[in-house]
Amino acid sequence: MLRLWILRRVLKSFRAVSRVSLWFETRFTPLGRLLCTGSVAAAIFGLDPNQTVALQLASLLFAALAIAILMSMRWRPQLETSRLIPDTVTVDVLTNYSVTIKNLGQRAEIGLTLADCLSTRYPDVDDFRRTARTRGQSGTNWFDRRVGFPRWLSLVRKSQGARLETLSVQTIPSGSSVTLTVPLRPTRRGKIVFTAIELRRPDPLGVFFAKYKDKQYGELVSLPKRYPIPPLSWISERHFHRGGLALATTVGDSEEFIGLREYRPGDPLRHIHWRSFAKRGAPVVKEHQDEYFDRHALLIDTFLDDADPADFETVISIAASFIQSERPSDSILDLVFIEEKVWRLTTGRGLSNTRQILLQLADLQPTASDDFSAVTAYLERYLDRLASVILVGTTWDSRRQEFVDELRSRNLRCLALIAQDPARSSPRSEEASPQPNTVRPAYIAEDIAGITQSIARSAT
């Protein structure tokens, strides 16, 4: 309990230090930061009564800073800003959006700097603890690793979702407008929220920035990163599906039908076409077309256990790559995962928009409880209609191995992939044998290509 209280106080101090640091970084020019450093150093030396020169220098520098701050307060711009952003972007893929600034004042605006603002969420204790084993801090010193401020700062930056640069704005004459192209590189998947457009102008001394902030809300969705996947020709097997594609997309029945016929005993009441029933006075039911087509299941194991969060991001990227990969024209793919309940999303042959499924993947988070049995129970309902199952996750144990063995015993083709760095495999992953195909987070494209090529060779 004491350690938890100490950690909360430490995180609170991190937040205070970060805000002060951000204020100095965005308010003072490089010259201003130099003057601040010099004034503090001179003030420290000026504490000695014999160092009168240092005291005079400190007074002079503090006076210059005060004058610069007072002069910046005179800036009262009349500006109008707007932002045009795309609906979706992709993680680690550089894109651009535009910001338009219109000068409504009587004077030209000179020397402005544009800085767009993103919503920031400060990590809590659980977030900070969850990343305690995160790699990639070998460049920090022992004190930073023990205290954790660089790790906390990286979580803050990740919460913003993207890296933005400050841009210089050309002179804006009175009554004119300029449009700037702003580069944007998403750093995570999910929703990225813009809160305001900030314009800065240095005072005449070039020491302190005056700020103009226009609250402009905007949001976009960062989709998971996708990788090219060779065609999986070995997972093609047509199965009969009662009701055809109209019934393949939902657990229940669809309203789409190919015709009407008279009611026969045993027909479900939900198939009755009530408008025709009212006209004829006799029950009429909707008739659906029966078809044969390929159906495959892509199962995401959302249980993270003690794996690195980067492994789960690899799982999402693999799933997104399969969703967007090329498949035969008569093939459909079910994405099955658990998030509070079991979800199934279907794509292929015009049944569903691939983009909508990618949007769902962009928000999918790992689960703390192992509900793998709920997913397998759900798949049991229609295993006889599947041609293959692709299982992707971060955890591997005997239970998951038994599930794969059961699928293969039913002559179902199954591809099991585990996202994991072999150098830090968890004990649970060593319980089951044989091990599934491993995809390393640093070599996703290479590992997926190698696995699919080996499958193609074994199929021939």
- Position 169 scores a pLDDT of 93
CA distance 110 to 427: 62
**Which is more confidently placed, 142 or 360?**
360
Q: How confident is the model at residue 384 (pLDDT cuts 50, 70, 90)?
A: confident
Report for 142-151, 244-253, 412-421: range of highest mean pLDDT: 412-421
pLDDT for 350: 54
Comparing 253-257, 320-324, 425-429, the range with the smallest average pLDDT is 253-257
Q: What is the pLDDT of residue 425?
A: 59
Q: Does the pLDDT at position 129 exceed 90?
A: no
pLDDT at 189 over 90: yes
Instruction: Please give the Cα distance from 116 to 102 (Å, whole number).
Output: 16
What is the pTM for the complete model shown?
0.79
Quick one: pLDDT at residue 210? 93
Tokens of 15: 């937040």
Residue pLDDT, tens place only, 9-25: 888 899 998 899 889 99
Nearest to 181, CA basis, from 195, 197, 194, 167: 167
- pLDDT bin (cut points 50, 70, 90) of residue 141 is low
**pLDDT score recorded for residue 110:** 92
Q: Tell me phi and psi for residue 175, to 5 degrees.
A: 80, 0
71: tokens are 């002069």
Average pLDDT taken over every residue of the chain: 82
pLDDT at res. 252: 34
Report the C-alpha gap between 52 and 37 in whole angstroms: 19
Give residue 293's pLDDT: 63
pLDDT of residue 456: 59
Is residue 400 pLDDT above 50, yes or no? yes
**pLDDT > 70? residue 460:** no
Question: pLDDT of 51-88, one tens digit each?
Answer: 678 788 888 999 999 999 999 988 999 999 999 999 99
| DSSP H or E run through 320 | helix 309-324
- Banded pLDDT at 364 (limits 50, 70, 90): very high
pLDDT band with cut points at 50, 70 and 90 for residue 126: confident
Q: DSSP per residue over 155-217, as a string? A: HHHHHH-EEE--EE---B-TT-EEEEEEEEEE-SSEEEEEEEEEEEEE-TTSSBEEEEEE---
What local confidence, expressed as pLDDT, does residue 329 receive? 67
**In 3-state terms, the chain is what percent helix, strand and coil (to 5)?**
40, 25, 35
> What is the mean pLDDT of the segment spanning 203-225?
93
The arithmetic mean of pLDDT across residues 211-235, rounded, is: 84
Residue 254 has pLDDT above 50, yes or no: no
Give pLDDT, residue 363. Answer: 92
Task: Report the share of the chain in percent with pLDDT over 70.
Answer: 82
More confident call, 349 vs 392: 392
Max Cα–Cα distance, the chain, nearest Å: 110
Residue 380 pLDDT class (50, 70, 90 cuts)? confident
Q: What was the pLDDT predicted at 426? A: 56
Mean pLDDT of 101-123: 92
Query: What's the pLDDT score for residue 253?
Result: 35
Residues 225 and 187 sit within 8 Å (Cβ to Cβ): no
**pLDDT for res 136:** 46
Please tell me the predicted confidence (pLDDT) of residue 240: 44
Give me the pLDDT at residue 187, please.
93
- Residue that wins the pLDDT comparison between 384 and 114: 114
What confidence score (pLDDT) does residue 41 get?
A: 87
Domains plus CATH for the chain? 25-73 (no CATH), 75-223 (2.60.40.10), 233-238+293-459 (3.40.50.410), 254-287 (no CATH)
Q: Look up residue 99 and give its two tokens.
A: 């910001």
Residue 250, pLDDT score: 42
pLDDT of residue 222: 95
